[in-house]
Structure formats: structure tokens, C-alpha cells
Amino acid sequence: MKLTFKLFASLTDLLPKEARDHAIDIDVADNATALDLIDRFRIPRKSAHLVLVNGVYLDPDERGEANLRDGDTIAIWPPVAGG
């Protein structure tokens, strides 16, 4: 199945060079989870702070369980610091 995978802030460096606008379209297995993508792109799990699927927050406990669907968009942000 096909998904749109987006990374933001310091995580954008982990996307392949062909990514545009922080995103890349990818093919994944039918039973893929958010955690599978986090591992596939070598994102340290502690750095996958905010994970959204189609704009809906995915709790850390659900990331290895909730199967993604064809056409989904998954977006990941690292922890944000500042003041």
C-alpha cells in the first residue's frame, strides 16, 4: 500500500534526498504500523514525540499496534524545546 510519510524539524534530515516539502510517498506492507516506519527511517524512538496519522494523534502505546491504511499520511515531530 502507499502512504505519505512526513518528518519535521530536526528529523527532516532522515528523509531520502528525493523528499519534497518534508514528505515522501512510500510503499509499505499491508500490516505496517507507525512503529515500523519509525524503525525503517531510523528515527530514535525517543525522538518520535508527536506522531499523527491523518492529523489524529497516535498515542505511544498504539504506535506498534494500529495498522495504517492505504492513502494514510503519517507525520512525526521531535520534542520541541525553547522559551
CA distances from 18 to 12, 22, 33, 60, 63 (A): 12, 10, 23, 28, 26
What DSSP letter does each residue of 29-59 carry, written as one string?
-TT-BHHHHHHHTT--GGG--EEEETTEE--
Phi, psi of 48 (to 5 degrees): -90, 70
Residue 82 pLDDT grade (very low, low, confident, very high; cuts 50, 70, 90): low
Q: What is the pLDDT of residues 20-73, one digit of tens each?
A: 889 999 999 999 999 999 999 999 999 999 999 999 999 999 999 978 999 999
Q: Could you state, in order of their start, the residue ranges of all structural domains in the chain?
A: 2-77
At the topology level, CATH places domain 2-77 in Ubiquitin-like (UB roll) (3.10.20)
The set of cell numbers assigned to 51 is 506522531
β-sheet bridge partners, residue 67: 33
pTM attached to this predicted model: 0.89
